[in-house]
Structure 1
Amino acid sequence: MIGVYISILILLAIIVYLYFTKRLSYLLKSKRKLLFKSLNKVEKWFLAGSLIATFTFSTLTNLVSSVIYELVSPNSNKEFLKIDEKQDTSIELISESNEKLDKLLKDASIDPRDIEQYLKNLPLKDGKEETNARIDEWYQARKISLEIKELLLVVTKVIFEQNEDLTNTITFLKSTGKTDFAGVLENIQKYFQEGDAEKIKQEYFSRKEKVEKENILILKQSIKSTEALFAFQQTVDLYKELILVEPTAENYFQTAYFLHKLKYFDEAANLYQKTLKIYRDLAQENPRAYLPNVAETLNNLADLHSDKNEFPQAQEKYEEALKIRRDLAEENPIAYLPDVATTLNNLAYLQNVKNEFSQAQEKCEEALEIRKKLAKENPKTYQSDVAMTLNNLAILHSEKNEFPQAQEKYEEALKIYRNLVQENPRTFLPDLAMTLSNLAILQNAKNEFPQAQEKYEEALKIYRNLAQENPRTYQPDVAMTLNNLAVLHWSKNEFPQAQEKYEEALKIQRDLAQENSRAYEIDYARMLIMGVKLFKKDKSNLKIAKGILERYQEVYSAQELLKLIRKLE
């Protein structure tokens, strides 16, 4: 700063001199040539020397000041800011990775908590090649399905990338003299490579009373490591510690999101509410920066209420999120129209569950219009969303008995899914089979039996192939499609074919109910009742079905089936 002040004083002295010699007007009117001609030789040397001295002195003074500042105040804060930003970004990326893993987890039909056990039996410390070889060995020996193999390959890829990031961070810290901090991260890396989440957690808590800034960075690195290892209990403990030592909106949101995914609904709701309050306050001062965060938090809170069947609260939050996102999309449609469509789709689903079909249809149609517009610009990203929205809209038309409109939407969705399957069969074959089944149900209701049978058989073929690789996920779909085919054959008086399909479906459903009673017993009971009603099976099956359904009297479908049993008895 001293250099700046002295430079200003020199320039002021030059201006005063020009003023008193009546030559300042030349400078103000940009008549530099006239000014130069009016100066004698001594004045030219004086002015030129003054300007050069001003520039040189200012530069040298600032340079010396910087050096002195660096000597007096070490640049540790700059280093921490750099690492801290990397840590925050990494936590967000882990959450994004987990979102992408959701579909793989669903396809593999596995509880995320079970992944930790698989990881403990993998030779992670021996490197990527050894780990991938072990995963392939398990698959070849039929110890895991193809879906679980793909899931483990993705999870371990994230782990090895994170291990590399840790190595780079440790190297950086050592180069800047932060050997103590680097040593702690080396311990975390060692436990990370061993897959020992509990020791990672203990490493953080053993240093809890140390320098606060370093401590938070170690905590965030510990969260990344335990989350990548699918060690959920340790990750929960560390997230809870994070919001104690650094209670920011971002940390509340990340913790709430993680707890929500683990179905810790009450704790997640409380943290979402805290997040929402902070973002609302920030949005009062800077709406452009923070309203998107308000909308995202509202949307997640609505998802949580929906998961808990708290539909009025869910609808209230979705509608507020939708209003904000509509306003944002008016200013920046490219950035926010996809969010508008997502919220509309969520609202439509909610209203459909509440039997508010007209309102749901209105939301679905608007979402479809937006997604079609987006797909014109970027088909690879949005075509699947268009097909999904068409399918949802067709279901709504079916429930309102608007069969021609429903069929039109199903056929449009079917065409898109067939094209998508050509590019990516593994991702879109299940969606294609689902749409074929939905269209077949509609055609069956319209007594278009040959067309319905054709669609059912194509769907069944797809589901059988998928079930060979992943029976746990797709056997229920095989059973459902066989059951639907049995009803169709029965409607056509083709009783031997109907009986054959029914028996196969019943066997699959019985096996599923034995394996996972909570998930499949009601469907098994439904199939037993259908056997008595359509195929004149022994009425003792009604007693078995009744015994099952009485355990689920809080479920609406079970209540309806019990009413049907009373009519058949």
Structure 2
Amino acid sequence: LKKALSINKQISKKGSEEYKSELASIFFNLGTLFLKKKKFNKSENYFNKSLSIYEGLSKKESHHFKPQIASTIYCLGVLLFEQNSIKDAIVKLHQSLSLRRELAINNPQLHLPHIADVLNALAIAQGVNQEFSQAKENYLEAIAIVGRLATYNPKSYLPPLATYQKNLAANVFTKTGDYDNAQRYHEYSLKNWLNLERSLNNKFFNNEIATSYKYIGNVFTLKEDPNTAEKFFTYSLDIWEYLLEENFDTHISDYIEAKSNLAIVQSQINKLDEAEQNFRMVLGHRLKMASEEPDAHSSELVTLTSIIAMFYYSNRSDTEKSLFYCGLTFLYASEYEDYNPDTTEAINLASQILRSLKIDKNKFLTDFKNIMAKHRAN
């Protein structure tokens, strides 16, 4: 930043264009830094400053600065996506993609990887916006591009290929109920991660392998095949248990998500003791994480308590414990005030249990809050 300000002063004093390109690059790097730190206003400010300089320079050397303009617009699209301005993000990503396609006409080797990257980001945004047909088309084009590149340079291009395959499976096929294709592309992705791990003898890819196993387990859950789902969740957990020893904070969220999914399918195949044990373990971690970072983890805690409430109601026929976890669902939802769709679904599930038991929700909530207040006081 000090270097940028120093250059800016030189430009102002001399009116020189000698430093403008370097200044734009510094502004771009600052924008990227603040984007990673999720300081979005500062990030947007620096990206716009960078873009303004590059666009000014391009009036004299239009082709020379087009890659920088494309990259900056791309980052603005990512920034807008992170701020949940999905439609605006899609517009920016289309602009970046158009510039990259123009550049690829004369130098495809250099710009095709960038095109694939923009296509992937665009498809992610389109998936969130429920433009599944367009998202699928863009994912497939990105996969085709890096698939060809991976033939000649697998070390560099198998990672993005596996990532795009996973994204297509999770963000399009799973969401549209095409579970066979979701399974197929998750298996393609897994195969590529395994090939990388074996060919490079590199444990760096273990997290991606575990994630692939978890996603495949999720698909088999949706296909109502809990026995196969259990197998894949177990594969993923075996890897994450090893990774937790190396870096607990990095992998604990993935681990407990897979553990929760395992407990759900175990409850479906009558492994109730194992399911109960896993639910309790996951709850302990969720409580700790929600107490430390409520904004990041409260919705998962609310969802989990509602699932446990249904487990005791449907699988254990334990009304007392089911009502206790219903109460926790309502209590945590009110404390954290995190009303996203998952939280709403959890509240509806707990409410459904109360209705089935012919219990008045308002009276139940009042009584439960009084009991918990006395418990906390003691």
TM over 0.5: yes
Q: 1:419 to 1:251 in 2, by over 3 A?
A: closer
> Residue type of the partner of 2:136?
Q
Give the distance between the partners of 2:273 and 2:34, measured in 1 at CA.
Answer: 51
Alignment of 1:165-176 (within 5 A): none
Q: Which runs of 5+ in 1 are unaligned?
A: 1-235
Give the distance between the partners of 2:291 and 2:339, measured in 1 at CA.
Answer: 21
SS at match of 1:539: helix
> Residue type of the partner of 2:351?
R
CA RMSD of aligned residues (A): 2.0
Asked whether the 8 Å contact 2:333–2:339 carries over to 1, the reply is: no
Asked whether the 8 Å contact 2:155–2:196 carries over to 1, the reply is: no
Q: CA deviation at 1:446?
A: 1.6
2:253 match:
476
Q: 1:415 to 1:261 in 2, by over 3 A?
A: closer
2:332 match:
548
Alignment of 1:6-21 (within 5 A): none
**Is 1:442 the counterpart of 2:227 in the alignment?**
no
1:307 match:
82
> Residue type of the partner of 1:562?
I
1:275 match:
50
**Is 1:399 the counterpart of 2:175 in the alignment?**
yes
SS at match of 1:309: coil
Q: C-alpha offsets along residues 192-245 of structure 1, whole Å, 9 cap, x if unaligned? A: xxxxxxxxxxxxxxxxxxxxxxxxxxxxxxxxxxxxxxxxxxxx5x36634642
Q: CA deviation at 1:375?
A: 0.5
> Residue type of the partner of 2:53?
I
> Residue type of the partner of 2:344?
Q
**Is 1:416 the counterpart of 2:192 in the alignment?**
yes
Give the distance between the partners of 1:265 and 1:274, measured in 2 at CA.
Answer: 14
**Is 1:378 the counterpart of 2:153 in the alignment?**
yes
1:252 match:
27
Q: 1:511 to 1:425 in 2, by over 3 A?
A: farther
Asked whether the 8 Å contact 1:299–1:317 carries over to 2, the reply is: yes
Q: CA deviation at 1:365?
A: 0.6
> Residue type of the partner of 2:250?
T
What is the number of equivalent residue pairs in this alignment?
A: 333
Q: CA deviation at 1:368?
A: 0.3
Q: CA deviation at 1:562?
A: 2.8
2:95 match:
320
Q: 1:242 to 1:543 in 2, by over 3 A?
A: farther
Q: C-alpha offsets along residues 40-75 of structure 1, whole Å, 9 cap, x if unaligned? A: xxxxxxxxxxxxxxxxxxxxxxxxxxxxxxxxxxxx
Q: CA deviation at 1:553?
A: 3.6
- The one of 90, 96, 112 equivalent to 1:337 is 112
SS at match of 1:439: helix
Asked whether the 8 Å contact 2:163–2:189 carries over to 1, the reply is: yes
Alignment of 1:11-410 (within 5 A): 238=2, 241-242=5-6, 244-246=8-10, 248=20, 249-395=24-170, 396-410=172-186
2:309 match:
532
> Residue type of the partner of 2:9?
V
SS at match of 2:59: helix
Q: 1:242 to 1:355 in 2, by over 3 A?
A: farther
**Is 1:433 the counterpart of 2:197 in the alignment?**
no
**Is 1:485 the counterpart of 2:262 in the alignment?**
yes
- The one of 338, 348, 361 equivalent to 1:563 is 348
Asked whether the 8 Å contact 2:87–2:129 carries over to 1, the reply is: no
2:316 match:
none
Give the distance between the partners of 1:277 and 1:514, measured in 2 at CA.
Answer: 43
Q: Which runs of 5+ in 2 are unaligned?
A: 12-19, 314-320, 355-378
Q: CA deviation at 1:261?
A: 3.0
Give the distance between the partners of 2:197 and 2:63, measured in 1 at CA.
Answer: 40
Q: 1:424 to 1:547 in 2, by over 3 A?
A: farther
